[in-house]
Structure 1
Amino acid sequence: MKRIIIGFLGILMIAGCSDNSKTDTPDPEQPNPDLEITEVTVNEKPEMKTLILSGFVKDPQGNQLAGVTVTTGNVTMQTNLAGAFRLDQVGVVSQRTVIHCSKEGYFNITRSLEQADEDIWEIIMYPKGESDLSTSATFTSTNATKLQIGKMKINMPQNGYRIESSNKSYTGNVTADIIYLDPNNPSFSAAMPGGDLIAVRQDNSNVSLVSYGIVGVNLSSGDGQQLQLADGKTATLTYPIPEGMDNNLPESIPLWYFNEKAGLWIEAGIAQRVGNEYTGEVKHFSYYNLDDPKRRAKVEGKVMDCKNRPVIGKKVIINHSPGITDAQGFYSITVPSGTSMTATVRSEDYGYYKNVVSHTIPALDAETTYTQNFQLPCLSSISGQIVNTCESNSASLVWLEYNGIIYEETYTKTNGLFSISSPEDYTGPATLKIRTSSENTISIDLRLNNKDLNIGIINVCEENAIGGTFIFTFPNGSTRTYEFNPSQMEGVIRLNGNTLMISSENVYLEIPDYSPEQSQYSNVSVAILDDNGNPIMIGEMNVDVNFIPEKGIYQFDITGKGNTTYNPQPGDVKGRINVYLVIDMVNHQNVTSIQDIDLPSFAPTVPTPIDLVSHVNGRIGQGVILDYKNPDVEIFNQIKKQADLLGFDILWFDDGEDSKEICYQQGDKVIQLSYDAQGFTLIGSPDDEDYYFEIMILDDCKIDFEEGRSVHSNKMILKQWGHINRTSQLHKKEKQ
């Protein structure tokens, strides 16, 4: 299923942008201006699910944005040179996929839609600075300040700021990056956060919103720390009434803030009408939406071509809300009730066809479903299959170029299959572009003639593509394939120069007698796990190891017999895995002097003796990991007090009854403290005794400041690197 979302998620229902907006019916539940709004608590915890999500990130001019950090749940990756990303696990919050995109110099974007497999999203990120949508201003915190972009006004308080991570009061210069979205601006839907303007009222009911304008404010200090309004302080937002939306105005309209963790708009206040403006107060900054809540309705139907064949993976737009057709051509879109709308399949979304098909959707009653089918002209298609003959990952990015136009960007299926439509009425030369998972680009010259074109199998050899494939062959001749996509492979750990292991949620492989001079190993324990940590395959394998230093990649060729959940009888196993070398680690026991440790200069005072010191180096950074056998939790508390005084930002703090973990970060400097009352066993330690407390101190760590997660991987990986030399519960399960 393909779903394309444009903008900060361009999903909104705007009564004022429709010619027949005068027929819109008011919502019966108007806000009480005297009622104190109590923000509801919603689920913010993501559940990792195995769903394929691909996407493309661009700027407003359509230029591809490389190096965008894309985060969902505990997985983080970066867009490639084509601005593309592909995830095979996504964070789902209350049945909605939630992803976050960030890039220095751009406004962050959070996307949220109902979960779906094989989705393809298109995302546009807007730059900070001066534009028709945004502005930036710096002022001193000791003065009350009025900010303005267009007719949107923000009154900031005097002496009313705190550092978001530490909650300490802040005095100094404040930089405000502001984006204001007028519903009449053509870029409104392209710059709005969220997914479908689904919101939660204070009574926990779900509604759809009709927007009168959105403002986003990001506050930062002179040294880049994120700021918020201090407790007890408020800012005043004054929204202009958008042109064409000034009929039958209510005296008050609710204010809604965007909860980025849940991917939902939350009712958070009330704005009163004063002349041609609405004014309300807010206690913290996020994106704030001045919106009229409507009970929800639904529009659905099928999109077929002239031969009554389903049109697959194409976008239907109802005002600003998209729905994507599935394998049967079916689409479904949630819309606000009481608002007349137009449903369209746009020219640019279907081969640039000329006679655009649109239908008028009448104002609907709440909780009703309206059926609207489409019949579109027939278009020819280009199809084929990418096959990686080196037994690595076949997933690839595919698009068509003709007359200087980049057209129909899409990801193949995991097995490399793809199909894209040809532009209507174009005949002549074109180029099919393929970008493989290891960033190699293949060009195939075509000549389009308005007929279906099947290219067949396109063989590529991606020996170094990150990821891997296992093929299981059983005694009855049947086979089963298990493929690893790049985001599943976290990295290789090299311990004391003589132990090599893959650290991944889905693969366990450890070579305890590794030597760089030796490439072949036998009786190597290998396990493949599902996303819940349950084994899919376990066996003792033959493994050929090849390190490619110029790419920093380890390549493992694996053969042997293994027990699988696919078949009761053992089967032959053949596979290849390519993963990055992420960290080198060297351990030292019973260190009694701080002078024997190469501590980073910003390190807190650490207690001695230290039962195990691990010097680390690699993509995760340079520094030390210190482990203690003392079970006293007060050691954790004492070091935490020191670290709190450093002024670092807190990336996360897990404060459990039996276990505690906190991670601090400033720039590329990281301190992580971990305590476990149950104890943990260390990989590489000569004894089997339990350790209880760990300090990780890293410099030159590749951590994204705003997201608080590793640029190269994700928050869970950073936490895992902090535990690299301990046998985690996952590894214990893998060994059993």
Structure 2
Amino acid sequence: MKKTNLLLLFALVTVLFTACKKDPPENSTTNPTGISQTATISGLVVDLNKEPIPNVAVSIQGTSLTKTTDQYGAFYFHNVPVPKKVSLLFTKDGYMKVARSEETNKKNIAINAMMIPTFSAISTSDNFQANTGGSVELPAHKSKVTIPANALVDKNGNAYTGDCQINLGYLDPSTPEFTTLIPGGDMTAINSENKNGIIYAYGIIKVEMTDPSGNPLQLDKTKKATASIEVGVPSSMLSSAPATIPLWYFDEVKGVWIEEGSATLSGDRYVGTVTHFTDWNCDVWSPTQATITGKVTDNTGEPCPGVVIHTGQSSTITDNNGEYSRRVPAGFDLDVYIKDYHGINKSVNVGVLSEGETKTVNFTISLNKVKGKAVNCSGTGVAATVGLNWGGSYSYAQSDNAGNFTILLPEDIWYATLWAYTGSGYAEEPVPLNFIDGVATVADVFICDINTGPTEFTINGGEFNNVKLNDFNDVKTAKYVEFQEPGMPESIKMLNITFGGTDGFIHITLPKGGIGNYTEADAAGDGQAAHMLRISFEGIGPDQLYLEPSKFNISITKYGNVGQLVEGTFSATCSTYDNPGITYQITNGKFSVLRIPDGDGWGKKHKK
């Protein structure tokens, strides 16, 4: 086959990919109190600019379960034990920690988090000596914390007199970002009489205190030490701000706000004292609740999953049916809205809801959809978190238990990176998006938990002097595909082996599977199978060479079933079409790839 025919074949394939990255099994030996069920929890972590944050530690409070976000800020807990309300803690150096919580009345739970850098427009950090005391403030947000002298203890309760770092952040309840920044996320609270309710915020500060090594410091309870705080009130909320307001701190394990103390309105801020460092919230408590529920669909009536819905000062995410529900405080004028979701902005004022009232707010939006299925190595559908990233933007959703997923994205996106998570595997692949009536269907996403072995070869000739190439971890698959050459009466099945990465892409097609040897002599015969027998090297080296062998030897040494490994060795003598006089020797070649179910395209993307 000519080079142009091969390139055309590669361009016309259906994208199908697989990847693998071992994660430790979910540890369920330490369960949160009040276990009611198991659930799958996933989400994204972003900064104030909505850029994904990698390497964030995500822990389920009350358990030993911890995950780390990937390069796209995504995390995934598969089928873990959860209480009726689960709380996640997000931590990373250089950012202020945040906890988010959600009721676990569904099997698949989406929880997103937005983290504040130590220094930003709404945060700052400073140092002082504990034996002299100090303060830190955010003048633009009318917020401040003052620590008296000799008032601190270390994590063991010992008096601390050394250097301190204090971080201060401010959350403005009048901004759309507040619903994603606020600890908890649903504004549920327990007052001083141990009664449940929902709070309405007038301002929040986040306070963290550490020694130079990052160890936490606290106020000395034995001295009944206190710190004074000032919490700014947004100008748009000053007219309704009460003269005295309860103070609340967030219980990171229970996932609720707890009343402790009060603050007094002084001009444009609340002033009070606190007995420990945490997130402090100035809120009105409401014992009466209402419910806002609804559904988001497209212009054809199909559900839109993964849409962030803001309900007053809280937010939630539509499920796979496009549905959402959130409890809100009764007696407050509330807006329900979609804010800048892939360019979509819609808002409905629901007014003041009465106790026990349920208000339905539906939205119709116009976005493209990418549909597909997440499957395991055997081709069986699995629950997973699946996302698309393009040009610094992203969108994600959870597949259902059968693996089916729908991801929403703007109408002008034609190429993106598709990724998927399960509890034990990870997949990633750049994909073209071919939309028909606003829907692009991608081939099955294979997520496997099998590690492949070394894949490498040595190349000599031209600009290469016995250079070993071994970065082929982007693609590592073997599968049967159906081909039909022009003029042939029928198609045939060939075993296609593909591996590639930064060092290039290698494609091997064989007329049959099983252990055996193949050379260029086998490709010299008549018939479609002989014509299709080949090995090619694409995008090799800095010059992205395309090498076509004149001689080759391919040996299959291991041939597993679907979900198992196919391994072998290879060597070749090659040249390029542009410079046929230069000979390249390929030696010491070996590959270890995952066999996936039969399909119509080339296998894509398998990571160790």
Short-chain TM bin:
0.5 to 0.7
Contact kept in structure 1, 2:150 and 2:161, CA below 8 Å = yes
Contact kept in structure 1, 2:226 and 2:273, CA below 8 Å = yes
Pair 1:67 & 2:58 matched: no
CA distance in 2, matches of 1:345, 1:200: 29
Contact kept in structure 1, 2:306 and 2:407, CA below 8 Å = no
Corresponding residue for residue 421 of structure 1: 408
CA distance in 1, matches of 2:409, 2:293: 26
Task: Give the aligned residue type for 1:221.
Answer: D
Corresponding residue for residue 353 of structure 2: 364
Corresponding residue for residue 103 of structure 2: 114
Distance change in 2, residues 1:174/1:301 (3 Å): same
Corresponding residue for residue 26 of structure 1: none
Distance change in 2, residues 1:146/1:327 (3 Å): closer
Contact kept in structure 2, 1:303 and 1:373, CA below 8 Å = yes
Task: Give the aligned residue type for 1:188.
Answer: F
Pick the aligned partner of 2:444 from 457, 467, 480.
457
Q: Structure 2 matches for 1:474-513, cutoff 5 A? A: none
Corresponding residue for residue 323 of structure 1: 316
Distance change in 2, residues 1:154/1:422 (3 Å): closer
Contact kept in structure 2, 1:307 and 1:378, CA below 8 Å = no
CA distance in 2, matches of 1:307, 1:279: 52
Pair 1:408 & 2:395 matched: yes
Corresponding residue for residue 434 of structure 1: 419
Moved more, 203-212 or 338-347: 338-347
Contact kept in structure 2, 1:163 and 1:170, CA below 8 Å = yes
Contact kept in structure 1, 2:289 and 2:329, CA below 8 Å = yes
Q: Structure 2 matches for 1:549-568, cutoff 5 A? A: none
Contact kept in structure 1, 2:388 and 2:416, CA below 8 Å = yes
Contact kept in structure 2, 1:430 and 1:448, CA below 8 Å = no
CA distance in 1, matches of 2:189, 2:154: 28
Corresponding residue for residue 581 of structure 2: none
CA distance in 2, matches of 1:326, 1:390: 27
Residue 125 of structure 1: CA displacement?
A: 1.7
Residue 162 of structure 1: CA displacement?
A: 0.9
Distance change in 2, residues 1:393/1:106 (3 Å): farther
Pick the aligned partner of 2:76 from 63, 69, 86.
86
How high is the TM-score relative to the length of structure 1? 0.52
Contact kept in structure 2, 1:300 and 1:372, CA below 8 Å = yes
Pair 1:286 & 2:274 matched: no
Distance change in 2, residues 1:332/1:292 (3 Å): same
CA distance in 2, matches of 1:394, 1:430: 25
Q: Deviations over 1:605-647 (max 9, x none)?
A: xxxxxxxxxxxxxxxxxxxxxxxxxxxxxxxxxxxxxxxxxxx
Corresponding residue for residue 676 of structure 1: none
Pick the aligned partner of 1:196 from 186, 201, 218.
186
Pick the aligned partner of 2:116 from 110, 121, 126.
126
CA distance in 2, matches of 1:99, 1:201: 22
Large movers: runs of 4+ above 6 Å: 574-577
Contact kept in structure 2, 1:195 and 1:263, CA below 8 Å = no
Pair 1:251 & 2:243 matched: yes
Q: Structure 2 matches for 1:540-579, cutoff 5 A? A: none
Contact kept in structure 2, 1:147 and 1:155, CA below 8 Å = yes
Residue 434 of structure 1: CA displacement?
A: 3.0
CA distance in 2, matches of 1:92, 1:462: 24
Task: Give the aligned residue type for 2:46.
Answer: K
Distance change in 2, residues 1:172/1:440 (3 Å): same
Contact kept in structure 1, 2:420 and 2:447, CA below 8 Å = no
Gaps of 5+ in 1: 1-42, 466-558, 560-573, 578-736
Distance change in 2, residues 1:302/1:161 (3 Å): same
CA distance in 1, matches of 2:237, 2:438: 47
Contact kept in structure 2, 1:48 and 1:90, CA below 8 Å = no
Corresponding residue for residue 510 of structure 2: none
Task: Give the aligned residue type for 2:264.
Answer: Q
Residue 230 of structure 1: CA displacement?
A: 0.2
Task: Give the aligned residue type for 1:113.
Answer: E
3-state SS of 2:179 partner: helix
CA distance in 1, matches of 2:33, 2:171: 29
Distance change in 2, residues 1:286/1:89 (3 Å): farther
Q: Structure 2 matches for 1:215-364, cutoff 5 A? A: 215-231=205-221, 232-294=224-286, 295-348=288-341, 352-353=343-344, 356-364=345-353
CA distance in 2, matches of 1:365, 1:400: 40
Residue 50 of structure 1: CA displacement?
A: 1.7
Corresponding residue for residue 145 of structure 2: 154
Pick the aligned partner of 2:198 from 191, 195, 208.
208
CA distance in 1, matches of 2:416, 2:136: 49
CA distance in 1, matches of 2:273, 2:43: 37
Contact kept in structure 2, 1:92 and 1:98, CA below 8 Å = no
Residue 160 of structure 1: CA displacement?
A: 0.8
Contact kept in structure 2, 1:220 and 1:226, CA below 8 Å = yes
Contact kept in structure 2, 1:388 and 1:461, CA below 8 Å = yes
CA distance in 1, matches of 2:209, 2:357: 42
Residue 286 of structure 1: CA displacement?
A: 0.8
Distance change in 2, residues 1:429/1:234 (3 Å): closer
CA distance in 2, matches of 1:190, 1:330: 19
3-state SS of 1:367 partner: coil
Pair 1:373 & 2:358 matched: no
Task: Give the aligned residue type for 2:414.
Answer: P
3-state SS of 1:448 partner: coil
Q: Structure 2 matches for 1:652-667, cutoff 5 A? A: none
Number of paired residues? 419
Contact kept in structure 2, 1:45 and 1:261, CA below 8 Å = no
3-state SS of 1:66 partner: coil
Distance change in 2, residues 1:201/1:52 (3 Å): same
Q: Deviations over 1:279-329 (max 9, x none)?
A: 211111111001111232212234444444444443332234223334554
3-state SS of 1:447 partner: coil
Contact kept in structure 1, 2:199 and 2:329, CA below 8 Å = yes
Between the aligned residues of both structures, percent identity stands at 30
Corresponding residue for residue 85 of structure 2: 96
Contact kept in structure 2, 1:381 and 1:451, CA below 8 Å = yes
CA distance in 2, matches of 1:62, 1:246: 29
Q: Deviations over 1:142-176 (max 9, x none)?
A: 22423322221222122111112x11221212211
Residue 448 of structure 1: CA displacement?
A: 2.5
Contact kept in structure 2, 1:49 and 1:89, CA below 8 Å = no
3-state SS of 1:247 partner: helix
Q: Structure 2 matches for 1:507-546, cutoff 5 A? A: none
Task: Give the aligned residue type for 1:66.
Answer: P
Contact kept in structure 1, 2:374 and 2:447, CA below 8 Å = yes
Contact kept in structure 2, 1:69 and 1:101, CA below 8 Å = yes
CA distance in 1, matches of 2:128, 2:361: 52
Residue 391 of structure 1: CA displacement?
A: 7.5
Distance change in 2, residues 1:378/1:75 (3 Å): same
Distance change in 2, residues 1:102/1:384 (3 Å): same
Distance change in 2, residues 1:68/1:364 (3 Å): same
Pair 1:141 & 2:130 matched: yes
CA distance in 2, matches of 1:457, 1:272: 59
3-state SS of 1:245 partner: helix
Gaps of 5+ in 2: 1-30, 453-560, 566-608
Residue 358 of structure 1: CA displacement?
A: 2.8
Corresponding residue for residue 43 of structure 2: 55
Residue 415 of structure 1: CA displacement?
A: 4.7
Pair 1:182 & 2:169 matched: no
Q: Deviations over 1:365-393 (max 9, x none)?
A: 2332223333x156553222233436799
Contact kept in structure 1, 2:330 and 2:353, CA below 8 Å = yes
Contact kept in structure 1, 2:415 and 2:430, CA below 8 Å = no
